[in-house]
Amino acid sequence: DLMPAGIAAGVIEEGVPGDRQMTVLQRLTHDDEQSWSGSVGECAAITTDFSDLTIMIFHRPISEQPSG
């Protein structure tokens, strides 16, 4: 399943923490553009469908940011 919930569930199975923050952007530049933000675990539990025109952004924790 290549919808955000399925992808989120897959990355959790691969070891990404469920509390990692993420953003889902849908139908950018269209009149019905939408966004959703929450944790990967919350996204994995979503049962409603997202648009096929979707971008997922997985936020990197500050502890994983490259140093200056």
Give 68's pLDDT tier (boundaries 50, 70, 90): low
Which of 15, 63, 64, 68 lies closest to 40, judged by CA?
A: 15
Q: What's the pLDDT at 13?
A: 98
Report the alpha-carbon distance of residue 47 to residue 63 in Å, rounded: 31
For 27-65, what is each residue's pLDDT tens digit?
Answer: 999 999 999 999 999 999 999 888 889 999 999 987 777
CATH of region 4-60? 3.30.950.10
Instruction: Answer whether residue 66 shows pLDDT above 80.
Output: no
Q: What's the pLDDT at 10?
A: 97
